[in-house]
């Protein structure tokens, strides 16, 4: 099958057969499709779309392009359920959620990604923890899932390798924002992990790549349809990303906020809403809660009795981190040498935040990558971030910047001030949970 003929067919708006889609996916991994042909194919799909049948075929073939994980031989006494977010700014939900649901009896093998563009990545955050192995071998990964209930790790070479290559081509050819390509990309990795259930968090707003509700809704529906087709029960939350989630943005700072959340030191209400909603839905999907109320009660119980925090500590230890990480968290996380307030220029209410620019400011500080091969500075970022509808006095901080030097700190102060709108009258923030679809 000639690659250019398959591309031509899609370019002209015709549906591809299962055989043609299978040829493209094999071509991604065996090199018979060049990167320029993959780029042309991605652009053809971007403009012409795909039918549900095509999207299912693409997802299935990409899923089977590598290893398929199975858990049956471990004889787990609970459901295998995962969560995935399309990514945002200050989104540390995965760090908190995995140990909570593990403490409630769910098994959560969570394969996470690195930061992308202006959004942070769970893997980069976890690598702030000294010794934490984000790429354990298969036997340690499985042992951690069995013994702790959760293991948050990075994508292995073997898991949906077709997506790894195709994603890197899409990333540099402006073809990320396509509903069928996003669906196949996310689900090929998640479905290869052998799940019984999945809860997705599709973020929408000025800090998300789905920057409008219509687009987020299309992604949500497509994911549910395709995932159900593969027998995986799936729910999707659409959540607001018109402001950073929680009070911190940046790798070590977000780990600190996650630990403070789990140990009950501090729980930002919007972050708490997302965590409780997704966690209780994971329990419901896994058959561990009959009603939303029962799910929420179970989640609150493991937060109150310390079991969720304990699961986090055990996961860190089993994957190579310090035994007393929770007790001595501050001494283990890297701290930036310069910490400065970002003073508001006016008195008033925060009426808007350019969340994408906030994320980019942290990338500029070194907390994210400009190129895939760049290293990362785990210590930098923002803390005490003020949210929409909160009142600030002139000269009061909008956030604290954590930087490597004064110049970087001053540049960030400028960027963050320009990212905030302050008004005389107050505005209601969007609710954090916009919709639940299943
Ligand atoms: N995340 C993914 O893994 N793939 C996409 O295409 C978009 C977000």
Nearest CA to ligand 1 atom 6: 182
Annotation says 85 is catalytic: yes
Nearest atom, ligand 1, residue 170 CA: 6
Q: Above pLDDT 70, what percent of the chain? A: 100
36 is catalytic: no
Mean pLDDT on 160-166: 93
Q: Which residue lies with its CA nearest to atom 7 of ligand 1?
A: 182
Asked if the model's pLDDT at residue 168 lies above 80, the reply is yes
For the ranges 45-49, 74-78, 169-173, 387-391, which has the lowest average pLDDT? 169-173
DSSP type of residue 74? G
Q: Is 34 a catalytic residue?
A: no
C-alpha 406 to ligand 1 mean position (Å)? 35
The structure tokens listed for 182 are 């996003």
* Cβ neighbourhood burial of 18 (10 Å; 0-12, 13-18, 19+): middle
Our CA angle for 320, 325, 327, nearest 5°, is: 160
Indicate which residue's Cα is closest to atom 3 of ligand 1.
Answer: 186
Do 322 and 328 touch, CB atoms closer than 8 A? yes
- State the catalytic residue, choosing from 189, 267, 270, 314: 189
Q: In angstroms, what CA-CA distances link 267 with 146, 201, 245, 256?
A: 29, 19, 11, 12
Topology (CATH) of 334-423 = Aldehyde Oxidoreductase; domain 3 (3.90.1170)
Q: Is residue 344 flagged as an active site residue?
A: no
Check: CB of residue 416 under 8 Å from CB of residue 398.
Answer: yes
pLDDT of 100 above 90: yes
Tell me if 175 CB under 6 Å of ligand 1: no
**64 in catalytic set:** no
Residue 382: in which H helix or E strand, if any?
Answer: strand 381-383
pLDDT tens for each residue of 364-413: 999 998 777 788 999 999 999 999 999 999 999 999 999 999 999 999 99
pLDDT value of position 361: 97
> How far apart (Å, rounded) are the C-alpha atoms in residues 150 and 100?
9
Distance CA 64, CA 62 (A): 5
> Taking a C-beta distance cutoff of 8 angstroms, is the pair 268, 233 a contact?
no
- Decide: 38 and 169 in contact? Cβ < 8 Å: yes
> In terms of pTM, does the model score above 0.85?
yes
Domain coordinates in residue numbering, the chain: 3-49, 73-329, 334-423
Among residues 86, 119, 122, 318, which one is catalytic?
Answer: 122
CB of 155 within 6 A of ligand 1: the answer is: no
d(CA 243, CA 353): 6
Looking at 3.40.50.300, 3.30.450.20, 3.90.320.10, 3.40.1030.10, the CATH number of the domain 73-329 comes to 3.40.1030.10
The Å distance, Cα 204 to ligand 1 centre, comes to 14
Alpha helices by DSSP H, listed for 149-212, are 161-171, 179-191
Architecture of domain 3-49: Up-down Bundle (1.20)
Report the chain's mean pLDDT, rounded to a whole number. Answer: 96
Beta bridge partner(s), residue 198? 82, 234
Instruction: Pick the catalytic residue from 65, 82, 227, 415.
Output: 82
Phi, psi dihedrals of residue 210, rounded to the nearest 5°: -85, 90
Whole-angstrom Cα distance, residue 207 to residue 419?
12
Give the pLDDT confidence of 414-433 residue by residue, as tens digits: 999 999 999 999 999 999 99
Q: Is the CB of 116 under 6 A from ligand 1?
A: no
Residue 316 pLDDT greater than 80, yes or no: yes
């Amino acid at each position: 099958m000639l690659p250019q003929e398959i591309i031509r067919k899609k370019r002209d708006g015709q549906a591809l057969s299962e055989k043609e889609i299978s040829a493209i996916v094999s071509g991604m991994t065996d090199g018979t499709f060049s990167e320029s042909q993959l780029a042309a194919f991605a652009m053809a799909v971007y403009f012409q779309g795909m039918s549900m049948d095509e999207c299912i075929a693409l997802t299935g073939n990409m899923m089977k392009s590598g290893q398929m994980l199975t858990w049956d031989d471990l004889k787990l006494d609970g459901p295998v359920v995962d969560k995935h977010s399309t990514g945002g700014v200050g989104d540390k939900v995965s760090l908190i959620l995995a140990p909570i649901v593990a403490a409630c009896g769910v098994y959560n093998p969570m394969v996470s990604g690195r930061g992308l563009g202006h959004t942070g990545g769970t893997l980069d955050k976890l690598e702030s923890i000294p010794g934490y192995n984000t790429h354990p071998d298969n036997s340690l990964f499985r042992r951690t899932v069995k013994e702790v209930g959760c293991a948050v790790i990075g994508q292995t070479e073997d898991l949906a390798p077709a997506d790894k290559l195709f994603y890197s081509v899409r990333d540099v050819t402006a073809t990320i924002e396509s509903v069928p390509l996003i669906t196949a990309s996310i689900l090929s990795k998640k479905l290869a992990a052998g799940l019984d259930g999945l809860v997705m968090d599709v973020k929408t707003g000025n800090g998300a790549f789905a920057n409008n509700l219509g687009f987020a809704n299309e992604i949500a529906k497509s994911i549910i349809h395709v995932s159900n087709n593969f027998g995986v029960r799936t729910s999707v939350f659409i959540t607001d990303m018109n402001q950073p989630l929680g009070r911190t943005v940046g790798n070590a700072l977000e780990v600190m906020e996650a630990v403070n959340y789990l140990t009950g030191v501090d729980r930002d209400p919007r972050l708490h809403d997302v965590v409780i909603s997704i966690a209780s839905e994971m329990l419901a999907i896994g058959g561990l809660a009959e009603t939303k109320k029962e799910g929420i009660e179970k989640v609150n119980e493991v937060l109150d009795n310390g079991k969720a925090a304990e699961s986090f500590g055990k996961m860190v230890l089993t994957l190579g981190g310090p035994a007393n990480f929770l007790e001595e968290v501050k001494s283990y996380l890297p701290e930036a040498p310069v910490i400065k307030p970002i003073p508001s220029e006016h008195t008033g209410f925060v009426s808007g935040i350019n969340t994408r620019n906030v994320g980019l400011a942290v990338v500029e500080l070194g907390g994210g990558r400009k190129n895939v091969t760049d290293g990362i500075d785990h210590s930098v970022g923002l803390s005490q971030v003020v949210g929409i509808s909160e009142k600030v006095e002139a000269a009061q901080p909008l956030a604290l910047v954590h930087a490597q030097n004064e110049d970087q700190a001053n540049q960030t102060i400028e960027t963050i001030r320009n990212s905030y709108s302050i008004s005389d009258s107050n505005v209601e923030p969007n609710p954090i949970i916009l919709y639940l679809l299943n």
